[in-house]
Each structure stands twice: as structure tokens, then as C-alpha cells.
Structure 1
């Protein structure tokens, strides 16, 4: 059974989740290491992002070899997306239905510590089983009880399905400390959640996962937001590009209540 949640019509109308919904989301995420959130964004808004991404970042949709992007698998590239229109919109980095859940997981001082896209090109193969980052201390007893220190929010710019490659997740694996976790994953149950355009997925940085092969004729871009506790900096995944870039003029457009989210941003 998928760990998933759908906001009520009343919550969507008010753009405020109930406290019980926030707590349910927290408990599901803490237990399973991921949570699928259904029908959060308007599909038309996602179409706008998709069109802008294809126009501005077209080079990453046709080739996987770039000096300023990280190769994260066969025909699969991770690129930093500048936080400028139409991406510089609080709905995409501080959605009022999502932010209370993110703060419940990471604490009220959380940061937006990464903003980009992973593009799976046509013909890409399954990724290797991996974690975005391993456990912090290398101590089985300590790492197993630590709370989440960072998570990814995936916002697909197209419907994600069996043809273009879903993200395979191993529920509960964020709490499993084992140096041989790739072998261990072969014995553990997994889920391949389809994600409809407008829905999104959050998962713990430590969760075992992989991106499935893209067997379609079109690139499959996934926008991602990385949120973290204020002290965390990713030492592994940004060896070719900065994790979060925002032009100075766009930084000024960030509403005052969200400015703190961007303390880790590189200002152009």
C-alpha cells in the first residue's frame, strides 16, 4: 500500500492543511520514508513550468554530457534551475499546503538548500540503487534513531508512469543502516508510484531508491526542491554545479516571510 495523502476540498479552498492532516503526513513520512501528495498543483501551472524548462534548458533534454550538470545515471542528468520566472513563485518553493508538513518534518528553521531538475532522456536505463546521502555518523545505533535531516520534493513536469520511468522506492529503508544496502534491497519490498501531473512526492535523503528507465520518446524532467535542517550542507551531489542559484533581482521578489528559506542560496 502506498504512503499517500490527499488534501480535502476544504483544505484546498483555504490553502491551509488541518493540524490532523499535518500530523498524519508526518507519521506516514517518518514510518515509510516517503509520502505521495496528490493533486497539490494545478496541472496548467505545471504545463507552464514544463514549457519554460524546455525553452530555457533544452540542451539538457537532448544530451547527458555537460560541464555544469551532474550525470546521475545512463542518459540521466541533474541540472540546477535558476530561481527566476516562472519558477520563482511561492507556490513552487513554499506551497501553503506543503510548508507546514515540511516544517513538521525538518523543524521551523528549515532551508531550501537545492532547486533543480533531473532529466531522464529517452532510452535511459534504470539507475543504480542508491541513497542521496548515506547516514551521517556511520554508527548503526545512532544513525537508526536520527530524525530526517534533508528531503527531496519531486514535482514532475509530465505524468510519470511505467513508460517514462517512475521512481522506485524502498519503504522504511531510510532507517536501515547497512553498508551493503544494495544487496539488502534485493530482499526488501519496493513501490513504483505513478505520479500524475500536479501531484508530488517527498522522500527522505536516506531512503533507498532509483529512477526507472525511460522507454518513451520524450525526456522526462522532474523538478526537485531539496529542503534541509539549517546546519546541513550536501557534500556529495553538487561537485559540478551549485545547488541553489537565484539572481539578485529575483531574491528581492521573495516575500518577506519566505526570505529565510534562501539563506543557503548563491546570489547571481
Structure 2
């Protein structure tokens, strides 16, 4: 559906001004979208996941551990496919009492499909930055309806590395996210990132219960977290039901492709604009943190070769 067609449908959660802002700028911050009940449940669930990580000694397909992680002092970068690991997360991502999928329907149309989820931690005192990138090249689709919803379960302040977005960049080109050696790094080349006018960047700080939503083409990044407080961010990715993925989903889930609002599509919609393709993720995947920091190139070379090395 075009933005005009979506705007002609009565919204469920958002105001018409909020929808228009999203289509013009490629992102929106919904302050305190969640009631206290949801905040408390998501906090308790996240604390439970952190406690569970104490028994994990090294990173794997589920847990991406930060430097210095131990049983006594857990430090995490990511829990992949969080919705698979606790029912509360999936209830929030798709349940009838959750405001999140209704907000997504207001932006992509009434038929909404789930793609994947992750819980990104920026741990205190040095949690990794995320470099400038676009999401869509990690998981290309036949159109550009996919969007990522980030939920702050605790207050997120400027010193914790909130999401920084470049307004209007979703209407610009899809950028190259390979390095000069042809290896996928999942971020812009340093010289391209340096050309961004940082005076135009908007940082999406917000109190607990706030939700950020950004389009899959929107350029974004976040600084390292040097505060005393970790910054867990729940990330759920959705699309219009008529957006079909071109490539293997790097974060597999039992809920992959689930229609969470409306009905399944009978026709695929193809946007004529081209999209950069990633490596073949079917051979394995780590995380955006590991890729952007160029960790474990042997694994990355295996992925790029289709898992044959």
C-alpha cells in the first residue's frame, strides 16, 4: 500500500499527524506508549533472561556476550529471537492486548506480518556502539514496508546510547554495507559515514514504555553506553503482509512469517527500487555488533561463501 492509501484508513493507535510524520521522516518516537502493567512485565522478563545468561560461557546463536561476561557479573550484547525464549515477549509482539502491532498496522497497513526479534543490550560502562547502517540490506524484501520497533523497558537518556536517526534518509539511496575487501560489515564505509551532517541527526531518548519505530531504509546508529546503567532495547521487526523476503532470515524464529494483524496476502507487492543483497546467512550468523566490529572473520568468510568453507 502507498502512504496515501494507508493514511485513508482510520488508525487504531496513532494520530493522523503521527502517521504523516513517520512517512515524511522515516521514524517516529511514541513516548510512554505502554501502560505500567506492560513495562513491569517486560522488565521482569528481561531480568529473568539476564539471570539465565549466567549459565552461558561463550557466545552462540542465541546469546551474544559482551566482553567481561561472567556468571557473577553478566554482560550481554544480544539475545537473538527473544520471542522464542519467553511467552511474555511474544504476547507483547503479537497479542490482542498489546498496542504494538496495532501501531505497526497504522504505518504499514491493516495486514501485518512478523519477521524477527532481538533484545539488544548496551551494557553499562562501554556497551558497544552501533555504526551507521540501514536495516533492509540485512533482510531484503520485495518492498520497503518493513520497519523496526524498539521498546525501552527502562528510561533511555542521552548518555546511554539512544537511537540516532537521520530524518528523511528513507527516501534516499540504499547504501553499500560491504567493506573495501568485499566483506559484509553491516554498516556504511567510514568515509560515507563521515559525510553525514550530524547537525541533522535526531536522538530518540525516552522514558520507560516508549517505542521507537523506524523504516527499514532509514539511516541510524547509536553511541556506546558509558553510563552506569545498561540499556536493554526490545526490537521487533514487522512488514506489510505483501512484503516477501528475498533471502534467508538470519534470525530464525518459530514465529517467522506469522500474521499478527489482519490476514495473509494473496499477492506480493514489488517496489521497483533496487536493494543491496547480503551474504548467504544460511551458513550462520553472529550479530550486528560482531559484524561491525569485524570479529571472527573466519566465520564471516564461511557465511559469505554460502557455508562451504
Per the alignment, in what secondary structure is the counterpart of residue 114 of structure 1?
strand
When residues 92 and 50 of structure 1 are mapped into structure 2, their CA distance, relative to the original with a 3 A threshold, is farther
Q: 1:257 to 1:164 in 2, by over 3 A?
A: closer
Per-residue deviation at 1:174?
1.0
Decide whether aligned partners of structure 1 residues 258 and 110 sit closer, same or farther in structure 2, where only a CA change above 3 A counts: closer
CA contact (8 A) 1:117 1:224 kept: yes
1:30 aligns with 2:26: no
Work out the CA distance in 1 between the residues paired with 2:63 and 2:220: 18
Going from structure 1 to structure 2, the CA distance change for 1:99 and 1:72 (only over 3 Å counts) comes to same
Contact 2:110 2:261 in 1 (8 A): no
Query: Between Structure 1 and Structure 2, how many residues are aligned?
Result: 226
Q: Please provide the CA RMSD for this pair.
A: 3.9
Decide whether aligned partners of structure 1 residues 37 and 207 sit closer, same or farther in structure 2, where only a CA change above 3 A counts.
same
Pair 1:186 & 2:196 matched: yes
Equivalent residue, structure 1, for 2:132:
129
Instruction: Tell me how far 1:178 sits from its aligned partner.
Output: 5.6
Matched position secondary structure for 1:245: coil
CA distance in 1 between counterparts of 2:132 and 2:144 reads 20
Is 2:248 the counterpart of 1:245? no
Residue 220 in structure 1 maps to residue 231 in structure 2: yes
Distance 2:62 2:260 in 1: 31
Please identify, of 211-220 and 73-82, the stretch whose mean Cα deviation from structure 2 is larger. Answer: 73-82
* 1:220 CA displacement: 1.5
Instruction: Return the offset for 1:133.
Output: 1.9
Unaligned runs of 5+ in 1: 1-14, 138-145, 247-253, 262-268
Identify the residue that residue 43 of structure 1 maps to in structure 2. 36
Q: Structure 1 segments of 4 or more deviating over 3 A?
A: 15-18, 57-65, 69-76, 90-101, 134-137, 178-182, 234-237, 256-261
Residues 91, 121 of structure 1: CA spacing in aligned structure 2 closer, same or farther, 3 A cutoff?
closer
Per-residue Cα deviation, 1:178-205 (whole angstroms, up to 9, x for no partner): 6466526523510112111011110001
2:110 counterpart residue number: 108
- Normalised TM-score (structure 1): 0.68
TM-score, length-scaled by structure 2: 0.60
* Residues in 2 aligned to 1:195 and 1:34: alpha-carbon distance in whole angstroms: 14
Alignment correspondent of 1:198: 209
- Report the structure number with the largest CA radius of gyration: 2
Distance in 2 between the 1:30 and 1:64 partners? 43
Structure 2, unpaired ranges of 5+: 1-10, 68-75, 177-187, 265-309
